[in-house]
Amino acid sequence: MGKALISRNDPPKTRITAILEALTTAYPGATCALHYKNPYQLLVATILSAQCTDVRVNIVTPKFFARYPNAAALVKASQDEVEELIRSTGFFRNKTKSLLACAKVLVKKHGGEVPDSMEALVELPGVGRKTANVILGNAFGIESGVVVDTHVRRLSERLGLSKQTDPEKIEQDLMKIVPRGQWVDFGHQLILHGRQICQARKPKCGECLLVELCPSAIIG
Query: What is the Cα–Cα distance from 118 to 2, expressed in whole angstroms?
Result: 38
130 catalytic residue (yes or no): yes
Give residue-wise pLDDT tens across range 71-123.
999 999 999 999 999 999 999 999 999 999 999 999 999 999 999 999 999 99
Residue 220: the pLDDT is: 62
Query: What is the Cα–Cα distance from 126 to 128, expressed in whole angstroms?
Result: 7
CATH number for position 207: 1.10.1670.10
Does position 3 have pLDDT exceeding 70, yes or no? no
Nearest to 61 by CA among 89, 39, 80: 89
Query: What is the Cα–Cα distance from 20 to 184, expressed in whole angstroms?
Result: 12
Which of 139, 166, 191 is a domain's end point? Answer: 139
Range of the domain at 164: 3-30+146-213
- Say what the pTM is: 0.93
| 220, part of any domain | no
Residue 2: the pLDDT is: 42
Which residue in 130, 166, 173, 185 is the catalytic one?
Answer: 130
Which residue in 10, 54, 149, 173 is the catalytic one?
Answer: 149
Give residue-wise pLDDT tens across range 123-149.
999 999 999 999 999 999 999 999 999
